[in-house]
Amino acid sequence: MSDVYAEPTTGADPTDPATLARYTTLRLGGPAGRLEIATSADEIVRKVQEAEAREQAVLLLAGGSNVVIGDQGFPGAVVLIRSRGFRLVAEDADTVTVRVEAGEPWDDLVAATVERGWSGLECLSGIPGSAGATPIQNVGAYGQEVAETITAVEAYDRTRRTVVRIPAADCGFAYRGSIFKYSDRWVVLSVDFRLTRSPLSGPVRYTELARALGVEVGDRVPLADARATVRRLRAGKGMVLDARDPDTWSVGSFFTNPVLEPEAYDRLRERAADLGEPPSWPCPGDTVKVSAAWLIDKAGFGRGHTGPEGVAISTKHTLALTNRTGTASTAALIALAREIRDGVQTRLGVTLHPEPVLINCAI
């Protein structure tokens, strides 16, 4: 299941409205068995229930910025999430709680919170997709994760056929994961975020961002400065959608940063002794998170490395796999992903795992 947002793009057979390439940022994906649009939470639930009554499988799409759909498409019902808006549901002297519809474009929401002087999402600027997608993979960047501000997720429980509000503590948030990811049980309808009333960002945690802002790690900066700098950094890596830039025709980071046990990290350092120290960050339980971009590069897959049919690693960032021509197949992209995964495993002994949801395809 995927729940992300973007306006339709061109792709394979763009004249066919049921071709899912039109609704993914990779511009990939075959036909839908049935294509429907839902503009409210009630309509989302109804469309899902109607598909179940027809005994059809259901795929939820807002814009396809974190999904890879196979060339065979999806034979069931594809529901395009187009619900919009947000509203205050609680506030006090220091905080506000904002309830956001699943289809609300994420970067529009971040811009609105920054303009209103609400701190907590500013370092997540420029990320494509919808608000409803963010709890699914616990979206994070530049030192912030949505798990830090989400207080609850409203979802339709397809097992019990009822709408429930799930407290953040029960969402199973982890690195790029939650109870919602890889599960067909839950349909995200809205998300509650508790934000701080402040003209300043949270403490800057990410070294690259601090350097770009000209401050020290731990300092706070005006919200607008944090947002503008994050967007500039992301754009420089091809991570802000731009119809004119083929480097952005991707799902962003294709692989997650692997989290290794201490023994596995020591083995990596031994195998990479001639390549330099792997960039890493300590994680709970003595585990270590390692840069997937570094692993890919050191395994011999540099920026611009090409695969079949013109698919390629972005010329700006080694973690993004792109459909540069806009006419490639999903099979070609998967072949490139397998080449990279297998090459990293052979050279450095680390297995990379995909970050996007894979629909009718696998690496």
* Active-site residue, selected from the candidate residues 119, 253, 314, 329: 253
* H-helix or E-strand spanning residue 292: helix 292-298
Indicate if 161 belongs to the active site.
no
**In degrees rounded to 5, what are phi and psi of residue 104?**
-65, 125
Query: Are 91 and 97 within 8 A, CB to CB?
Result: yes
* Active-site residue, selected from the candidate residues 101, 122, 154, 355: 355
* Active-site residue, selected from the candidate residues 158, 176, 227, 324: 176
Indicate if 355 belongs to the active site.
yes
Indicate if 165 belongs to the active site.
no
User: Which residues, 6+ apart, have CB-to-CB distance to 93 below 8 Å?
Assistant: 197
Structure tokens at 66: 């974190």
User: Which residues, 6+ apart, have CB-to-CB distance to 74 below 8 Å?
Assistant: 20, 29, 30, 31, 32, 33, 57, 59, 359, 360
User: In the beta sheet, which residues pair with residue 48?
Assistant: none
DSSP code string of 30-97:
-BEEEEEEE-SHHHHHHHHHHHHHTT--EEEESS-TTEEE-TT-EEEEEEEE----EEEEEE-SSEEE
Residues known to be catalytic: 176, 253, 355
